[in-house]
Structure 1
Amino acid sequence: MVLSSAGKKWKDFKSTLTRHHILPFINEEEKLRQPPELYKFIEKTDWDAFVASRLSEQFECVHAEQA
């Protein structure tokens, strides 16, 4: 149950980052260069990889199917 709960929280966190900090600024590269101020613990390299994954064609297809 603990791992299941942690997995759900991790998924929710990634979803929140995507919905609030990436998708609204999809055409504003400057705003996507740094992690949000609220999440200072996110390393720049991790943020860059996460943003790249969320802007990929594969993610766009999955996102469109689930919307």
Structure 2
Amino acid sequence: MNCLFKKEEHLTRFFGTNWNSKLSLKRWHDSRLKQYGLYFRDSYMEMRFGKWVLRYRNNK
């Protein structure tokens, strides 16, 4: 089951992704994180739906 999801201290990662994967899906455990929308950072873009985050990393 570790290839489908991996529990970490603050979040659960799905489909065997790491923090620097090209495309990753994660779910935060903390219920206070209620953010929605698109977020752009230095090298990645995130789509947030409450506790769920879909992230695309642009590895140049």
The structure where strand makes up a greater share of residues is: 2
The structure where helix makes up a greater share of residues is: 1
Structure label with greater radius of gyration: 1
TM range (shorter): under 0.3
**TM-score, normalising length: structure 1:** 0.23
**TM-score, normalising length: structure 2:** 0.24
